[in-house]
Amino acid sequence: MDKIFLHGMKAETLIGVYDWERQHLQPLILDLDIGLPKRENASDDIATTIHYGEVCQTIREKLAQCQFQLLESLAEFIANLVLERFQAAFIRVRITKPGILPNVQAVGIEIERGTI
């Protein structure tokens, strides 16, 4: 299965269980592995693949407009967005929320959806 990946993508959204967490946009680091739709022939045409620039732009725009309590909900939202909007075969979403707990570098979640 062919895939593209975006690792270390920075995005911001309102997220957290506590009110103080949702007072300001919080930085997140996203790692995405996206399964490409099956192609009959190799092509140099961007229309035959998933444009990773559009994926980044779409996710950042949507996250700036949304808020979540749980990383789990956010990961599910991103997975569904990419699967539906870009007709991806599968997606692996890893979200890191840096610096939210004392003496913990980062917390996060990883989910996989679709047929890997």
**Structural domain of residue 55, as residue ranges?**
3-114
Q: Which has the higher per-residue pLDDT, 8 or 105?
A: 8
Quote the DSSP letter at residue 38: P
Block residue for tokens 């979200």: 95
pLDDT tens string 39-66: 777 778 787 789 999 999 999 999 999 9
- Give pLDDT, residue 116: 66
Instruction: Give me the number of domains the chain comprises.
Output: 1
Q: Is 84 exposed, middle or buried (0-12, 13-18, 19+ CB in 10 A)?
A: exposed
CA-CA distance, 69 to 52, in Å (whole number)?
27
Question: Does 10 participate in catalysis according to the annotation?
Answer: no
Question: Which H or E element spans position 27?
Answer: strand 26-35
Query: Catalytic residue among 3, 10, 62, 97, which?
Result: 97
Cα–Cα dist 17/1, whole Å: 37
What digits encode the pLDDT tens for the residues 5-48? 999 999 999 999 988 888 889 999 999 999 998 777 777 878 77
Query: Model-level pTM?
Result: 0.91
